[in-house]
A and B are shown apart, each in its own frame.
Chain A
Amino acid sequence: MSEITATTPELSSHGYRNDQRETINRKTADPKPHLVIEPVSGWRSLRLGDIWEFRDLLFTLGMRDVKLVYKQTLLGVAWVVLQPLIGAGIFTFVFGMLAEMPSGALPYFAFSLAGMIGWTLFSTTLTAASTVMVTNSHLVSKIYFPRLILPLSSAFQPLVNFGVGLIVMLLLLAIYQINPGLRILLMPVAGSLLLMFALGIGFWCSSIMVRYRDLRFVIPVAVQFLLYASPVGYSLAAINEKVPAQYQSIYMLNPLASLVEFFRWTLLGEGEIAPAWMCYSILAATMTFILGAFAFRRSERGFADVI
């Protein structure tokens, strides 16, 4: 007796014999398989349990990116500190000094740095999450793991930068003697909303980029556009003051408008937040995140075949 039984469609005359054998096996062998592989079409569950099982991989991949970014650079970690400082410096010059935008009672530099830190978390996560499938295509085509791990792992490095940026921000607050008060307890919430919104868009973009690499060129342009279409270097107060009322609601359709303003408010207490628009932004961010994850799951079945 051979140790393997096989039937090919052509050998249908022997098929019944194998079928019999199989039913015998079904009774004697362990009836519960460890894993069943079957085609599933359409929408499917997120299988968060699987992601939890692969948490070591998530962590290792995330830390890999953190370690890699500043290897073989002269200034190393200093870049993490310099990037938001330079950005905030430019905004202080352009919006604060040249355009003389309002920043409440705050020094413009602290004002734009707070916006810049929140914005950088969003933009770097979005950029990293969108390209992560393509840059790790060799993993996707050779190894199984829950594919959501990849965009999720791409948030590690932006989060570390975010942490460093916050420390710089706190130092600056101490220097300017600004007391954020209890509002700062809401900062993690504001940060999470920005992160979720970025990851949500990243889920969509990364699964599209597997098929169409065009997005690689679209995303930097879109990010640049969003930077100026969101109250990062200026405040919502400036929009309310200088933009005609009928266009203000168009501006507010960008969920980042309320999210960035909210983030800055948790650090500085400065900001004009309309509750209705705030609710809209929270809903938009969470729905983008959840629907993005489902859309990613839906299209991931073809990743290994086309990447």
Chain B
Amino acid sequence: MMPRRSWGRDLRYLALYLVKRLLALLVTVLIGVYLTIVVANMGGQVDELRRVQIRSEAFEQVRADPAFQEMASAERNALVERRVALEVERLRLDEPFVLRSVDYLQRAMRLDLGRAEQMHSDAGSRRVSDIIVERLPATLLLFGTANLLVFFVAVGSALWLSRRYGGRVDRLVIALAPSSAAPGWFYGIFLILAFAFLVPLLPPGGMVAAPPPQGLAYAISLARHMLLPVAAMVLSSIFVSIYAWRTFFLIHASEDYVEMARAKGLPSRLIERRYILRPTLAPIITNFLLMLIGLWSGAIILEQVFNWPGLGSLLFQAIGFRDTPVIIGGVVIFAYLLAVTVLLLDLLYALLDPRVRILGEGRGGA
């Protein structure tokens, strides 16, 4: 028996469901980050790193304090050693890794990522979280734009193609689909070659012109710089996306209830909207978010190729500097981004799929 529709109750179940998923995801992230820490610590690199940090901090403190300025150097070194020993004990670095890994974990989960060894943010901060926060918007802008573009263009043209399947355009798309075997950075190299060097129309890399212009000119400059990387990403995934969606829609268009609607003589636009799109919305969204997940990690090289100041190129620079805190911090941030994406997926699922709400009721009643 279907329950009477009531928004309040729906909302309550939705909230309950989301809290459950949030907790589950938190546990998932916890395990994921813990695994990352274990991987990163296997050679004892992180410990070594922290000892070095403690020593340099202690030394800086002693050096900067005017009270110790008259001290003899041997005496001052002894003071530094004492402070280091205290700090090592305070941070439990003398304890076994198992105990301390829990400490690392809760620091990482609170996004307390520590201080960078060599790198600093453009504003001059040495805190890893500041460095990362500064780079995040650039990544979100570039990949958000490209993904949305690919998604909507692909679904739109797939719907259009599924009406004309077997035609010339359809066959062309099928023939072009294998071109997606190459990742975006690969096409990026050729786009740079073609449009920045052979025909110098667009800048080969970077995010804005230097010095950055103000106001509207800034937006125009940004758009010009975004054009090539976005084109590279679109090129590398558009044909296979259209192909996949077209096949998907074609399979759904041969379902019995769609045939039935057609037999009733409903207009094709209505059939498309109500009989094909609505029941397939959940898998469409899933696919979209899974694509997002895939592109997060593909970002590193594309950003590097286009010199885009995002998270990916940050990670690349961190490799160059062997700046371990930044590398680990980057991995943690990537894990969080993926988790947020999955949570978004759950939320949309709950909104779109009535079964989730009913399930919530069944569990709520139990």
A binds B: no
